[in-house]
Structure 1
Amino acid sequence: MWVKICGIGDVDMARRVAELRPDAIGLNFYPNSPRFVDPRMAERICRALPVDVEPVGVFVNEPAEDIARIAAHCGIRTVQLHGDEPPEDAARLGDAGLDVIRAWRVDAEALPRLADEIAAHRPLRLKAILVDARVAGQYGGSGQVAPWRELATVWEKDWPPLILAGGLTPRNVAEAVSATRPWGVDTASGVESSPGVKDLDQVRAFLAAARSA
């Protein structure tokens, strides 16, 4: 089970989380997020990570050219598009040599449209699709639970690998994994003591629960 701990904001926390060996950490470049990290700090974080913990850059509605530039500066090879970006942006980033995770925010109303969104991206060979909870005016990190069971009923086996997000915590991640059988899981607020501050005991418990499900 691939596990990403998202919203790492400084070098010390990156090192402490990396010691627990998630597969990846998320660096949030969305300025309106309480977990925002600027490129200079992100570059320092990336240099501090062990080789087996991958940094993933999370972007919301940034121009593809800016994403590629920031990724190159920081040494990031995988980027996550978490806004309303068109398929053309993912294509440009792929052409620039980056792996792309495309995120969609869904609720029961939006879930039926997911197939059309994925079909539009099918030629792009996405690394994975991340499904998060849809909350009006927010681009992730809300703590709202995604519709796991409903998602399991519509997910197609030939789609790109699924990363499940949306309100995942040490207490519910095993249930979510059992319901959807994703390739990976992603959490930010679910392992925090306050916005942007990771609780290492919760991170440890989340990793154990996700990988034992």
Structure 2
Amino acid sequence: MKLKFCGFQTLKDVRRAENLNCDALGFIHYDKSKRFVTVEEIRHLTQNIPDDKETVVIVVNPAIEQINDLVAKTSITTIQLHGMESLDLIKKIRTLHPRLKIIKALPAQDEKVLLEQLALYNDYIDLFIIDTPSEHYGGTGKHFNWEKLRNINGYNFLIAGGINYDNIDKINKLKLNHSGYDIASGIETNGGKDLTKMQDIIELVKERDNDD
């Protein structure tokens, strides 16, 4: 199972997570988010992240110039598109930045609509994130009805939205076909990343992989 820890804003929090057994660290470059960080802050926060971690920057409905700026000025490995981005934009990113991984986030809508969206983007991206629907494009800290995901097969996706230790335990019992979890508020205490919460989730998710 893949673990993406998201919403880092301080070097102290990055250092708490950078050597843990997670797969990706996420930085939100969307100015309406309470976890927003600037390009310069992203450059500073990501410069020493180990090579075994993906460095993900989350954007919402960006222009290609914004992507170009992030690639030029930071050491990111992955861009996460969390808005209503077009296939044309994704193809342009692929052409201009062939080494950049692309994640596409989708809201957990009506099952039929969700399946249509998965099919539409699947050939052009590396990973999906399915998140709680929100007019603010995520960041709600609330979960959705995971039963909506029961019939999703053959897609590489993480579950987001109010994910914490207890919810992971509940989701695991549903035997869904997801690839892992994307977590922000569920690894925080008083707005900072909580080392114990991160370690507990890693133990739950990664040790289960070993048991399986």
Partner of residue 79, structure 1: 79
Shift of 1:116: 1.6
2:60 is equivalent to residue 65 of structure 1: no
- State the shift of 1:146 in Å: 2.5
CA distance in 2, matches of 1:69, 1:134: 28
Q: Per-residue displacement from partner, 1:131-190 (whole Å, max 9, x unpaired)?
A: 00113x22112111122222122x132x3x111111110112132234223112110011
CA contact (8 A) 1:11 1:48 kept: no
Report the equivalent of 2:9.
Answer: 9
Deviation at 1:8, TM superposition (A): 0.5
Match of 1:134 in 2: 133
Alignment check: 8 A CA contact 1:104 1:131 kept = yes
For the Cα contact (< 8 Å) 1:174–1:212, is it kept in 2? no
Distance 1:178 1:43 in 2: 39
Consecutive unaligned residues of structure 2, counting only runs of 5 or more, are none
CA distance in 1 between partners of 2:123 and 2:178 (Å):
21
Aligned identity (percent) is 27
Shift of residue 120, structure 1, vs aligned partner: 2.1
- 2:185 alignment partner in structure 1: 189
Spell out the pairing of 1:1-213 with structure 2 (5 A cutoff): 1-95=1-95, 96-97=97-98, 98-107=100-109, 110-124=110-124, 126-135=125-134, 137-153=135-151, 155-157=152-154, 159=155, 161-179=156-174, 180-195=176-191, 197-213=192-208
Unaligned 5+ residue runs, structure 1? none
Q: Which runs of 4+ in 1 moved over 6 A?
A: none
TM-score (norm 1): 0.89
| Deviation string, structure 1 residues 45-102 (Cα, Å, up to 9, x no partner) | 1112122122101111111231132133111121110111111111111122221110
Q: In structure 2, do the counterparts of structure 1 residues 178 and 74 end up closer, same or farther at CA, with 3 Å as the change threshold?
A: farther
Give the number of equivalent residue pairs: 205
Length-normalised TM-score, structure 2:
0.90
Look up the equivalent residue of 1:186 and give its one-letter code. D
Counterpart-to-counterpart distance in 2, 1:199 and 1:123: 36
